Amino acid sequence: MSLARATELGSRLRGNDTSRATGINMSTTTAGIAVPLKDDASFPLAIAYIGIGANLGDARANVVDALARLQRQPGCTLMAASSMYRTAPIDSSGDDYINAVARIATTLDAETLLQALHAIEQAHGRERPYRNAPRTLDLDLLLYADQTISSPTLTVPHPRMHERAFVLMPLLELAPGIVIPGHGPAQECAASPAVQAQAIARLVTSQQT
């Protein structure tokens, strides 16, 4: 599925999505939201946001494929995909990154969802030779409902999302009113001088397909 197709899908599904008005707190009212699920899913259903990044190989194709894999993932339905963004590596080396954010509805618990994200990374041959190494595909669990999670393997909200333009800009495209638990409105995080100083360019639609 192309990113344009995924975005169109997301736009259609967003007809029933109140996240623009309610931010991440919509998870507490998901029982009242008619989310079209491809699975024979049972509640509880959570809204989660996934940060996608790549700067090795065909980075754009990797991001598009990640969206398709999220849609195919049992227990997950892709609801919306942001535009793609080009960003310079932060605390890292290599080519520019291609970044995007996806909103999914999921019946997976957060730890199981993280394992699914790792499996998708592995399908793209993700290696971790050293910290912040260039990567074919990086999938981060940014937000899971309005939960705060701190386990040996998982921290939610993602611990650095509030200071990264490559997360905040695509996230705000999908959910302008969203609140990051522990950090406040994402819009306020994005307005900070440190975030504003980060180079980021949204890729126009014709370049995404």
Binding site for ligand ADP (CB under 6 A): 114, 128, 132, 138, 140-141, 153-156, 158
Cis peptide bond prior to 157, omega within 30° of 0: yes
Work out what residue 128 binds among Mg ion, ligand ADP, none; the CB cut-off runs from 5 to 8 Å by kind.
ligand ADP
Asked if 164 is an active-site residue, the reply is: no
Rounded-to-integer distance, Cα 193 and Cα 209, Å: 33
Residue 146's binding partner among ligand ADP, Mg ion, none (Cβ under 5 to 8 angstroms by kind) is: none
Q: Please confirm, yes or no, whether 126 is among the known catalytic residues.
A: yes
Provide the H-helix boundaries in 83-162: 110-123
The one of Mg ion, ligand ADP, none whose footprint includes residue 132, by CB under 5 to 8 A per kind, is: ligand ADP
Cβ contact 62:54 at 8 Å: yes
Residue 138 or 146: the one with the smaller Cβ distance to Mg ion is: 138
Q: How far is Cα 194 from Cα 197, in angstroms, rounded to an integer?
A: 5
Q: Indicate which residue of 65, 126, 146, 164 is catalytic.
A: 126
Specify the residue, 9 or 167, whose C-beta has the smaller distance to ligand ADP. 167
In eight-state DSSP terms, residue 52 is E
List C-alpha distances in Å: 195 to 164, 186, 189: 6, 11, 7
Known active-site residue 138: yes
Question: What is the C-alpha separation between 123 and 154, in angstroms, rounded?
Answer: 21
Q: Which of 17, 65, 140, 146 is catalytic?
A: 140
Q: Which is nearer to Mg ion, 6 or 66 (CB)?
A: 66
Q: How far is Cα 174 from Cα 170, in angstroms, rounded to an integer?
A: 7
* Contact pattern from residue 128 through residue 157 relative to Mg ion, giving x for each residue in contact according to CB under 5 A and a dash for the rest: ----------x-x-----------------
Q: Which residues bind Mg ion (CB under 5 A)?
A: 138, 140
List active site positions.
126, 135, 138, 140
